[in-house]
Structure 1
């Protein structure tokens, strides 16, 4: 089997099963594990999968920059944003992550809602400029231009002063094995800290993020209260999460 054929078969298995195990693939194809590991390494360099110990998982398309993510499944993000916005209660202090799905949460907060939104995203803050009864606390720090959010020591120090009701977290990957992941090491640390500053964490996960993984782990799924997903997400995809006790809310 040619290398290109072997790689294509690996990608087909990944699409069908949601993961590949190097040992199993090497036996099925009659080649060494070293050969399969090399194939996985090269496919990962092309951004076609995410390597994990012993194999690989689908790579998340949501690791693109902010402008690129605006093109991904916009209708689903709107629905998730509306559902999450409806969860905010008057008088609450909520933390709103950066990203295109979180922006939909900001856009759909009720016009008469009186609450406080804490965010490290200038984009989110600007969305709420004309919301008369929502107080906005914008956390400072170094601007991570890829996601348009603040990161770094100053951001961390500010997070330590917060005690919020809910953190609405954006991620690039959700997987039962690897948990919640994102594409930047420092951003993952900020998301962990924001989650620790809130009584509960609600994850915003459009369809392309489920069963996908990115390089940097934020936390395990057991640390979140619920995950808001698109209403039309296939039960084939969700049944394993529900069986594992993950609370899925369909938008």
Structure 2
């Protein structure tokens, strides 16, 4: 099998899954493990993937610490499944907005170098999409939230109000009750609600463990019937 062609197959598989073990890729791509390891070594040298124990993952442009790092590992398989479903909804040429959070970050990684326009108030997501020329990234202005990577405040909302219509909005929820979907706090909710007013389709991304979880702060985003769909792992 031609080296470059197979490298592209391995990279495409990781773009779809985010992370995979060598044996898994060998089985899915119908080759032996040695061939996969050789491709991963080349892709790693090119800075496109990172080797992890027993496999590899897409290169992470941002090194997360503290709460964000812990959240990335919580319900990881569920979040990856949700991210794959969300990314599949994005068509070439789409104009979409992505809020912050670990699941939305996984979505962003799956959208790298797709011919789309991405608007985000999450600085880490902007960096995750950095250096992919087909993906046009627009960072909303504002004040950096002390408890997340998101830019918030009146300036952010005013910028959103001036935007043309968006095709899609992805918002990560921190809690879901019978009342509706919640994000971390009111400043983030205010920006998310402004983006919701601009989007033709609105998707909440959250694993089922968020159902019944009481919000820590009053960051109400939308009622259960006010979004296009809640994308969950099952």
TM value normalised by structure 2: 0.67
Q: Give the drift of 1:65.
A: 4.2
Which of the pair has more CA radius of gyration? 1
Q: How does 1:197-208 map to 2 (within 5 A)?
A: 197-208=198-209
Q: Which runs of 4+ in 1 moved over 6 A?
A: none
CA distance in 2, matches of 1:134, 1:213: 36
2:105 pairs with 1:71 = no
2:179 pairs with 1:178 = yes
1:145-181 Cα deviation digits (max 9, x unpaired): 3121000011011111222111001111122x22011
Give the corresponding residue for 1:194: 195
Give the corresponding residue for 1:99: 101
Q: How does 1:1-251 map to 2 (within 5 A)?
A: 65-109=67-111, 111=113, 113-162=114-163, 163-175=165-177, 177-214=178-215, 215-216=217-218, 217-231=220-234
- Across the two proteins, how many residue pairs are aligned to each other? 166
- Contact 1:85-1:110 within 8 A present in 2 as well: no
SS at match of 1:70: helix
More displaced 10-residue stretch of structure 1: 65-74 or 131-140: 65-74
Q: Give the drift of 1:128.
A: 0.5
- Contact 1:86-1:109 within 8 A present in 2 as well: no
1:67-87 Cα deviation digits (max 9, x unpaired): 332231111111111111110
Give the corresponding residue for 2:22: none
SS at match of 1:195: helix
Q: Give the drift of 1:110.
A: 6.1
Q: Give the drift of 1:184.
A: 1.1
Q: 1:157 to 1:183 in 2, by over 3 A?
A: same
CA distance in 2, matches of 1:201, 1:213: 22
- Unmatched runs of 5 consecutive residues or more in structure 1: 1-63, 232-251
Q: Give the drift of 1:229.
A: 0.4
1:192-245 Cα deviation digits (max 9, x unpaired): 1111111110010112212223132222011100111012xxxxxxxxxxxxxx
- Unmatched runs of 5 consecutive residues or more in structure 2: 1-65
Q: 1:132 to 1:207 in 2, by over 3 A?
A: same
Q: Give the drift of 1:120.
A: 0.3
CA distance in 1, matches of 2:102, 2:213: 18
Q: 1:71 to 1:164 in 2, by over 3 A?
A: same
TM value normalised by structure 1: 0.63
SS at match of 2:90: coil
CA distance in 2, matches of 1:221, 1:65: 27
Q: Give the drift of 1:188.
A: 1.4
